[in-house]
Chain A
Amino acid sequence: MMRRDECFKKIAELRGDAIVVSSYSSAFEWRAVDPNPLNYVSVGVMGQAPSHALGLAIGLPDEKIIVLDGDGALLMNLQCLVTIAEAAPKNILHFVSENGCYEANGSHPIPGKGKIDFAGMARSAGYAHVFEFDGMNQFSAELPRVMALEGPVFVTLKIEAAGELELDYPYTHGAQAREDFRQAVKPLIAKRDAAV
């Protein structure tokens, strides 16, 4: 088992200019690890982070789009694995933090806790590359290679439930977060349009 914040710190080290789409517990923890205007937190509804990421990946095909998903969230939008695999954007890297519970909603267990094989589902959906990590040493060693692969790439992170998180929903759902991202993404749009 790993700690999500430790995993996120490793991802942040290699992030570069990637857009990072996250929701709920992952978003709160990611923002603490790597505050950045290219963090997209305005997903609106639990489970929808990968679908927002798909839109971004299609709209900005030359930019890396990282998704920081949760296991409970993915269960709410499980079919997105098939939709993303069908669209097959090369620039999506989809992490799922698997802690077996709805952490932002009282830590109740997810259905299928300990039995679900998220990586297996992503593989059968058609993701180009699929990984599962439960130890920090292996994750740290493999991450540079994983992040350099053409997607869609799926990674399960087996993590412990975190401690108390600051649940900053006013920022997540607020207009400022959307405006921050809108301004931050403009240079990427200009770069795309200049390349045409």
Chain B
Amino acid sequence: MESETGLSGAAIIAAIKRAGVTHVAALPDITTSAGLLWPLSRDRDLELIRLCKEDEGVSVCAGLSYCDRRAVLVIQQTGFFDSINAIRAIAVEYSQPICMIIGLLGKEPDKAPAESSRYGVRIVEPILDAMGIDHFCMETTVDVARLPEAINRAYETSRPLAALVGRSVDP
């Protein structure tokens, strides 16, 4: 039975593998560090590309998609903000399947992103809506079940996706 209170990094890794993901481009984010990124970095089935800045990852994932390789971009929402021009051009205007897993630093686990007391959390979903990017929030491991289908849809329709990470990820 999936946890109804925690968010499992192992479940996220299993989910992206189920969607055929073979590559992960990432910058560390404390929300996903211990539970997701460290385990990812040790996973032999996934190739980790360590980035210096998040917008590089948008382009790396685009390049991989042309090679018929599926990737996810694991970043923090601050990196999402910093990468909006690349996401606007490459993911949205060029219609590329850029699949982002975005840690919401500072989000309170018991609140929806829109209800957060943090401005930097509240504005994430409205920005995604304005850009026309599909998104959902993974608050517990139950929500992770949506991830494989969402990634498959992103690649099948060649559209971007944002899976928000609503709480600190457990291993």
Chain A residues proximal to chain B, CB less than 8 Å: 40, 42-45, 48, 51-60, 77, 79-80, 82-83, 86-87, 173, 175, 178, 181-182, 185, 188-189, 192
- Chain B 64-91 interface residues, beta-carbon cutoff 8 Å to A: 64-69, 71, 85-86, 89-90
Choose among B51, B58, B66 the residue that contacts A83 (Cβ–Cβ < 8 A): B51
Q: Distance (Å) between the CB of B44 and the closest chain A CB?
A: 16
Using known A-B contacts A77-B56, A79-B53, A83-B51, determine if residue A54 contacts B89 with beta carbons closer than 8 Å: no
Choose among B55, B67, B85 the residue that contacts A55 (Cβ–Cβ < 8 A): B67
> Is A59 touching B66 in the complex (CB atoms < 8 A)?
yes
**B154 part of interface (Cβ distance < 8 Å):** no
Q: Closest 7 CB pairs between A and B?
A: A55-B63, A59-B67, A44-B89, A51-B59, A79-B52, A44-B90, A55-B60
Using known A-B contacts A79-B56, A80-B56, A83-B51, determine if residue A55 contacts B64 with beta carbons closer than 8 Å: yes
Choose among A45, A181, A185 the residue that contacts B89 (Cβ–Cβ < 8 A): A45
**B110 part of interface (Cβ distance < 8 Å):** no
User: What are 24 A-B interface contacts by the 8 Å CB criterion?
Assistant: A42-B90, A43-B90, A44-B89, A44-B90, A48-B86, A51-B59, A51-B60, A54-B59, A54-B60, A54-B63, A55-B65, A55-B67, A56-B63, A58-B23, A58-B47, A59-B66, A59-B67, A77-B53, A80-B52, A83-B49, A87-B50, A175-B95, A189-B67, A189-B68
Using known A-B contacts A58-B47, A83-B50, A83-B51, determine if residue A52 contacts B67 with beta carbons closer than 8 Å: no
> Is A42 touching B94 in the complex (CB atoms < 8 A)?
yes
- Dominant secondary structure at the B interface: helix
Cβ-closest chain B residue relative to A53: B63
Choose among A56, A58, A77 the residue that contacts B49 (Cβ–Cβ < 8 A): A58
Using known A-B contacts A45-B86, A79-B53, A178-B94, determine if residue A59 contacts B63 with beta carbons closer than 8 Å: yes
Cβ-closest chain B residue relative to A125: B52
> Is A56 touching B67 in the complex (CB atoms < 8 A)?
yes
> Is A55 touching B61 in the complex (CB atoms < 8 A)?
yes
Using known A-B contacts A58-B47, A181-B66, determine if residue A48 contacts B59 with beta carbons closer than 8 Å: yes
**B93 part of interface (Cβ distance < 8 Å):** yes
Q: Distance (Å) between the CB of B94 and the closest chain A CB?
A: 6
Cβ–Cβ < 8 Å partners of B62 in chain A: 44, 52, 55
Q: Distance (Å) between the CB of B57 and the closest chain A CB?
A: 8
